Copies of this chain bind each other. A is one copy, B any other.
Amino acid sequence: MKLQELADLLGGTLHGDGSLEFARPLPPVEAGSADLAVAMQPELLGDLGRSPARVGLLANGTEPPEGTLDAWVCVGRPRYALHRLTGALGQEPFVAPGIHPTAVVEPGAEVSPDASLGAFVYVGPRARIGRGARILNHVSIGQDAVIGEDTLLHPGVRVGERVRIGARVIIHSNAALGADGFSFVTPEPGSVEHARSSGSGKVSSFNEHIARIHSLGSVVVGDDVEIGANTCIDKGTLTDTCIGSGTKIDDLVMIGHNVRIGMLCMICGQVGIAGSTVIGNGVVLAGGVGVADHAKIGDHAVVGARSGVMGEIPEKEVWMGYPARPRKETMEIFVYQSKLKALFREVSDFRKAFASFLEDGRGK
């Protein structure tokens, strides 16, 4: 790509010779002489002196150190520029058009002639695969499932019975949509119910038989959703577990039965959301957050990494901690925790000072 093309692509400002070309965009220390040194963060500018690269991509308001780059492009919102740049250079995963000869499509399934099905794909009875969908090798699609237009399923994705996936969705390898919800009941009140209702802190009622509640619902995924590798989204019990359009979900996330997630949320790696919880629009759950069952997180709330959420978080608030509290409170607790040793010592010193004062019968 030529530097002028890069400037056009990113809507950036060209400095120097726009006819210069580059091979790969790389951080300055990894870029070779033919590459584009990407130094949009000011702290990377110093690396340009150690880089053989002759052309670069910088943030507005910055410039390369004297004697480093011959030409460069400056852009306004670096991460958005990265979206455009990587989108222009990214390669699509390979899948041949049409249905691979090894694929198995059960009777009654409808596969759009414009869809691509890779090797060893399995499509169950009455499933429907939309126009332009790309189903890579080793994907399973259960009976009555629906895959929307231009959706991309990576190898090993499992789509359960009756799951409905929208358009332009991307699902990464080995994600499992539509396993049965983890929903059980004991004929008589079991140990958990007992522990909840009893104030004694002791369990005195035991599970002698555990009966399963079957999942009559399924999973519904909106448009433009992305779902990470090995993530699990379980079926609902009576209704469907729902993922709103535009929401992005990372790897190894678990979303329980009946959960409803709104639009344009960001659900980071290893988050776990227990059954029947409702999450609004634009919510951000950082890595490793756990949300209890029947909780409620308001629109545009942000929850910090590894927090444990119970109950309700109001909209637009930033919470964190275990248990999760407003971020400011948790940060205060972290500070106070680190001063506990000093506090215990102070109170102990005090006790002695006061006792000796009382013994003396006077102030000094």
Q: What is the interface of chain A, defined by CB distance below 8 A to chain B?
A: 24-27, 30, 38, 77, 79-80, 82-83, 86-87, 89-91, 93-94, 100, 102, 104, 106, 118-120, 122, 124-125, 136-138, 140, 142-143, 154-156, 158, 160-161, 170, 172-174, 176, 179-180, 182, 184-188, 191-192, 195, 201-204, 206-216, 226, 228-232, 234, 237-239, 246, 248, 250-252, 254, 256, 264, 266, 268-270, 272, 274, 282, 284, 287-288, 290, 292, 300-302, 305-306, 308, 310, 316-318, 322-323, 325-329, 332-334, 336-341, 343-344, 346-347, 350-351, 353-354, 357-358, 360-364
Contacts and interface: CB of A to CB of B under 8 A. Distances in A.
Nearest to A82: B213
A302 B170 CA distance: 37
B201 A327 contact: yes
A118 to B, nearest CB: 7
A255 to B, nearest CB: 9
A272 B287 contact: yes
A24 B217 CA distance: 10
B172 A156 contact: no
Given A156-B156, A232-B252, A270-B270, A316 B203 contact: yes
A213 B83 contact: yes
Contacts of A188: 77
Contacts of A156: 138, 140, 156, 158, 174, 176
B336 A344 contact: yes
A201 B328 contact: yes
B269 A238 contact: no
- Nearest 7 pairs of A and B residues by beta carbon: A90-B214, A86-B214, A158-B173, A176-B229, A140-B155, A179-B229, A172-B179
